[in-house]
Structure 1
Amino acid sequence: MAALVGDGLCLRPLLMADAPALARAALESVSTVGVWLPWCDASFTEADAEHWVRTCEEDRADGSAYSVGIFDAAGGEYLGGIGINHINREHDFANLGFWVRQSRQGERIAPRAARLMAAYGFGKLGLTRLEIVAAEQNTRSRKVAEKAGARFEGILHNRLVIRGVAVPAAMYALLPESGIT
């Protein structure tokens, strides 16, 4: 996967050299990202980040997921992560997930990254639907979905399990006809 550049961002595959920045970003984001993504906790280490980089490489190689880093296009700062995963080739849809480090939240990074990644999913991967599934109470991710142009489709009961507890989730969908290609 080549780098995707646009709207001030660069989405590119993570390199092992990015592991320290990923670990720092995760640790600074425990109180915001960690509420919704249990992997983001105070015990996250550089070794965990290195493992994630290897997992992303393997997933891209076998076509099962396309998780990349979000970087500032001008300065190269690591801003967070985004990925297309849970790909269903029978029906050509997948999940679109994202997170932004706490110090850079509120700068519209996630919606910009979501639009870039959606264009890749529709154009290069041939998908016909990308789903953004956010816990019902995760208002920040829900706002990102809306700002990215996704359509709200409803609340799904017990759709996500967060730290062992089933919670309702809001389902949003991006479609190629949304103008994101």
Structure 2
Amino acid sequence: MLRPYRPGDLPDLVAAVRESHVSIGRWMAWAHADFSTSDGAAWLDHCARGWQSGTAFEFGIFDRDTGAFIGAGGLNSLHPVHPFCNLGYWVRSACQGQGAASAAVRALSRHAFERLKLARVEIVVADGNAASLAVARRCGAHYEGLLRQRIRGTDGSAWDAHMFSLTAA
């Protein structure tokens, strides 16, 4: 289940990032062993500002039955002129491989098409991130190619990335 973050999600967010820093920190520089309550609070504040301004729509992923925090996904980098955005996701280590990311991608893309009226959603995956590549493929995203030096890697250098897209029509 996806829902916007609430202030009470802070402890679970911090615990999930710390638990998962080995698996997701390779791809996301912010996910490190020392991720603090202050880091998490800054993220929740950033997310709230994105919702208020309509520039980003970040969600927590929660277990439908227990309400446990599983990970996060969002729609960001909304283009100011053309109807597309970026879709990103991560799942805490203990819940990886159980379909949460795929379910989140499907729900997020529906939100982009039905609520935001976008025509295109892009999923940009670092070269070598096999788990995220598999999620994009499982969700039926169209593979558009390998883009050279497309993203800033966790080491600060430019990394190649795979571009996938989902479209409304």
TM tier, smaller:
over 0.9
Q: Report the counterpart of residue 46 of structure 1 in structure 2.
A: 37
Secondary structure of 1:35's partner? coil
When the two structures are superposed, what TM-score results if normalisation uses the length of structure 1?
0.91
The number of equivalent residue pairs is: 168
Q: Report the counterpart of residue 168 of structure 2 in structure 1.
A: 176
Secondary structure of 2:146's partner? strand
The reply to whether residue 68 of structure 1 matches residue 59 of structure 2 is yes
For residues 31 and 52 of structure 1, the distance between their equivalents in structure 2, rounded to whole angstroms, comes to 20
Which structure 2 segments of 5+ residues have no match?
Answer: none
For residues 143 and 19 of structure 1, the distance between their equivalents in structure 2, rounded to whole angstroms, comes to 29
Which structure 1 segments of 5+ residues have no match?
Answer: 1-9
Q: Which moved more, 1:45-54 or 1:68-77?
A: 45-54
User: Residue 110 of structure 1 is aligned with which of 101, 105, 126?
Assistant: 101
Q: Report the counterpart of residue 164 of structure 1 in structure 2.
A: 156
Which deviations, in whole Å up to 9, do the C-alpha atoms of 1:150-174 show, x marking residues without a partner? 0110000000111211111000001
User: Residue 85 of structure 2 is aligned with which of 78, 94, 115?
Assistant: 94
Q: Report the counterpart of residue 83 of structure 1 in structure 2.
A: 74
Structure 1 residue ranges, 4+ long, deviating more than 2 angstroms after superposition? none
Cα deviation for residue 60 of structure 1 reads 0.4
Q: Report the counterpart of residue 144 of structure 2 in structure 1.
A: 153
Which deviations, in whole Å up to 9, do the C-alpha atoms of 1:92-114 show, x marking residues without a partner? 00000000000100001101110
Q: Report the counterpart of residue 8 of structure 2 in structure 1.
A: 17
- 1:67 partner letter: E
Cα deviation for residue 89 of structure 1 reads 3.3
Secondary structure of 2:55's partner? coil
Cα deviation for residue 65 of structure 1 reads 0.2
When the two structures are superposed, what TM-score results if normalisation uses the length of structure 2?
0.97
Secondary structure of 1:30's partner? helix
Secondary structure of 1:110's partner? helix
Cα deviation for residue 138 of structure 1 reads 0.7
